[in-house]
Amino acid sequence: MQPDLAVEHVPPLDWGKALVALANGTCVATVGFGELPRELDAALTADGFVAGPSLDDAAARLRLVKDAAALGRHRDAAALCDLLFGRLGAELARRRPAWEIQLDLETEARRQGADYCRTWLTVAPAADYPRYWPAEARRVPEPGDQVLFGVALTVDGHWGHGIRMGSIGPQKAAHRELAGHVEAMLEAGLSVLRPGLPLGGAEQAMEAVLAERVDAQDRPRLRRFRNGHGLGFSYEEPLTTGVFRQHFDPGAPPAAASDLALAPGMIFELHPNLFVPDLGGAALGEMVLVTPDGSECLLHHPRACQSWD
């Protein structure tokens, strides 16, 4: 800490009075005030504090390109995701409820250095959506089930994230077709994560592939979440997430426009996904680093659909 900085302990609901006194009429720029709880925001206003210009956008731009130390942490986080993917098969073979498998794998991630880990595990004859909670993940794996597994964790505050999929026994033809859609979408997204190209190009490329492979009259039936988002200190990084539309909300705004271009050191999660009621689902997620020559996938566990006993 700089020697000219003073630290004052003030209860949160008294911040307004303290800031008014400290500012003494001076305009005060802010960072992160949009994240304040409503009660605290109301208290600031009631005490007469008037926020100056927000520096949120400027601060977010400082986080766009990761330095060597941050990249090392993200690689560590990716390695832990790979570890959990590698251990999933043995856990499925023990034939326990999905939520117990999640619990053991999340605990293992913590043992191996993650400071936070949350998974979703959908085990069902027709995968319908990401299942996070014990109440919705009680099924014991059976032959013929689809298995979709998502991991999100942090190492020293730096996010790692990925999704893999497969089946208990041979994969059904209909599920193979769904998997083919997301595999093709992912390849399209990866192909345009290159320095100098538009930030929103990956979303556009993946949506174009979906439009080619799924008839227009069938697309309204699909249930989907975002095709991707930025990764960093936040699970959904500012400035690099809005360019991916949140597809699960039919009323959500379109993908945000951006004047930013891709640059080496940016990290994204691309996870094209789709779920068809009563048929099944598919999702595949990669951590992707933009490099001077193109892009690098930080996860090393095979992407191909697996068949578990």
Among 26-30, 116-120, 124-128, 260-264, the minimum mean pLDDT is found in 26-30
123 phi/psi in degrees, rounded to 5: -120, 110
Are 162 and 105 in contact by the 8 Å Cβ rule? The answer is: no
pLDDT in tens, 197-228: 999 999 999 999 999 999 999 999 999 999 99
Name 151's bridge partners.
119, 162
pTM: 0.92
**Long-range Cβ contact pairs of 247-256 (< 8 A, separation 24 or more):** 248/223, 248/224, 255/200, 255/203, 255/204, 256/200
Q: How large is the C-alpha radius of gyration of the chain?
A: 22
Helix (H) / strand (E) containing 110: helix 98-111
Torsion of CA 133, 134, 135, 137, to 10 degrees: 90
Per-residue pLDDT reduced to its tens digit, 132-171? 999 999 999 999 999 999 999 999 999 999 999 999 999 9
- Residue pair 236/230 in contact (Cβ under 8 Å)? The answer is yes
Q: Which residues partner with 147 through β-bridges? A: 123, 166
pLDDT at 29: 93
DSSP 30: B
**pLDDT value, residue 252:** 86
Q: How far is it, in rounded angstroms, from Cα 296 to Cα 29?
A: 37
Bridge-based pairing of strands 116-124 and 286-291 is unpaired
pLDDT score at 1: 56
One-letter amino acid for residue 302 of the chain = P
What's residue 95's pLDDT? 98
Average pLDDT, the chain: 96
Closest among 141, 25, 37 to 89, alpha carbons compared: 141
Quick check: 201 and 221 in contact, CB under 8 A?
no
- Average pLDDT of the residues in 250-273: 94
For residue range 117-140, what is the model confidence (pLDDT) as tens digits? 999 999 999 999 999 999 999 999
Do β-strands 286-291 and 280-283 pair in parallel, antiparallel, or remain unpaired? unpaired
**What pLDDT, on a 0 to 100 scale, did the predictor assign at position 53?**
95
Q: List, in order of start, the domains of the chain with CATH numbers.
A: 12-54 (no CATH), 68-308 (3.90.230.10)
Residue 12 tokens read as 């949160």
Q: So what's the pLDDT on residue 226? A: 97
**Is the pLDDT assigned to residue 3 strictly greater than 90?**
no
